[in-house]
Amino acid sequence: MATPLLEVEDLKTTFSTDNGDLTAVDGIDFAVDEGETVCIVGESGSGKTVATESITRIVKEPPGRVEGTVRFKGRDLLSMSEEELRQIRGNGIAHIFQNPQEAMNHCYTVGWQIAEALQIHQDVPDKKARARAVDLLDRVGIANASTRFDDYPHEFSGGQKQRVMIAMALVSDPDLLIADEPTTALDVTVQAQILKLLDELQDEFDMGILFVTHDLGVVAQIADRIVVMYAGKVMERGGVLDIFEHPAHPYTQQLLNCVPEIGGNEGGIPGTLPNPHDPPDGCRFAPRCSYAEQTCRTGGQPEELDVSPGQRVSCIHYRDGRDPSLLRENAPGVESGSNGVSSADD
């Protein structure tokens, strides 16, 4: 197997605050292959955003501190200097963010901001940069792109702004696009359009996408593989079909249960995320898990275990000599067969 486009190993991000250190991401691993879409899934506050922002170290440092290894095309990003890293940001790895309202500077035209992203990395004359930006605006579906180039962000709707952000991200032809909840702030119809656009652009630009979301409906539409995060740790990972059909970790099961179309339980997961200043011993999810035993509450996060080819889970119930089937009683994948996935595929 070729080296993955992006390889993250033991990534750990700590913030120093007035109340002591706060570990938002606590040693996670994942990889993204070329042309592949990987989704990081989890509740708000589980550390997904910090994890993606730690990859190119755009997370604020200080108070943040990023440790571990991030290899992009085989080069370690975390050992690079700021200078070298800047060459990667926007050029090799591009970002789009959750809130397109605020992600653009209100004082500059959208065209200026797109051209800036290009001209930082390539010595392109203004005219050519403009032509390229207009092309991209047109490509992402902004009508009258050549006149809209000179409009300011506030003259665009939310969905259009996210399209502009996508154009801005793509202007330097990146190999990896990190999309942090890009559709959360948009309404449902616009959301579907943006996802479709990203899907088309992925083939066209041949890029890997690392997609962060808490919305499993969105995951079902675009993901190839899924990484489930909870309180700074990875709970489970695997192919999208495997996880939707046979969610192994109780957390994943509950998460799927919360999607109205799939499981029907709209109540959400009982309990709240643990205090990040003082995370619980053992499995991070144990305090909210109905299957937790004494073993779950001691030591560190359990090791990851294979449940099926490519699917791994961090739960003691899958250790040798244990019977994981008791976890499956409430699992949506089992109860409703493959309905869950097919309905989400629609």
Residue ranges that bind another protein, judged by CB under 8 A: 18, 53, 56, 58, 86-91, 94-95, 97, 99, 102-108, 116-117, 120-121, 152, 154, 165, 168
260-265: which pairs have CB atoms within 8 A and are 24 or more residues apart?
A: 261/217, 261/343, 261/344, 262/216, 262/332, 262/336, 262/340, 262/343, 262/344, 263/332, 263/336, 263/340
CA angle 315, 40, 50 (to 5 degrees): 105
Q: Is the Cβ of residue 80 or residue 241 nearer to another protein in the bound state? A: 80
Smallest separation, CB 102 to another protein (Å): 4
Smallest separation, CB 292 to another protein (Å): 30
Q: Is the Cβ of residue 138 or residue 151 nearer to another protein in the bound state? A: 151
- Helical segments of the chain, H only: 48-55, 82-88, 100-103, 110-121, 126-139, 145-148, 158-170, 188-205, 216-222, 240-245, 250-258, 332-335, 339-345
Q: Which two tokens stand for residue 153?
A: 């962000």
CA distance 99 to 186: 9
Q: Is the Cβ of residue 7 or residue 180 nearer to another protein in the bound state? A: 180
Instruction: Please report, for residues 45, 200, 258, 335, the alpha-carbon distance to residue 217 in angstroms, rounded to integers and kept in the order given.
Output: 19, 18, 11, 19
Residue 274: other Cβ atoms inside 10 A = 18
Q: Is the Cβ of residue 66 or residue 103 nearer to another protein in the bound state? A: 103
Smallest separation, CB 287 to another protein (Å): 23
Smallest separation, CB 154 to another protein (Å): 5
Q: Is the Cβ of residue 149 or residue 244 nearer to another protein in the bound state? A: 149
75-76: strand order across its sheet = 20-32, 6-17, 64-72, 75-76
Smallest separation, CB 225 to another protein (Å): 23
CA distance 322 to 218: 34
Q: What are phi and psi of 9, to 5 degrees?
A: -130, 125
CA distance 9 to 68: 6
Q: Which two tokens stand for residue 40?
A: 């990081």
Smallest separation, CB 19 to another protein (Å): 10
Q: Is the Cβ of residue 61 or residue 293 nearer to another protein in the bound state? A: 61
Q: Is the Cβ of residue 33 or residue 151 nearer to another protein in the bound state? A: 151
Smallest separation, CB 159 to another protein (Å): 17
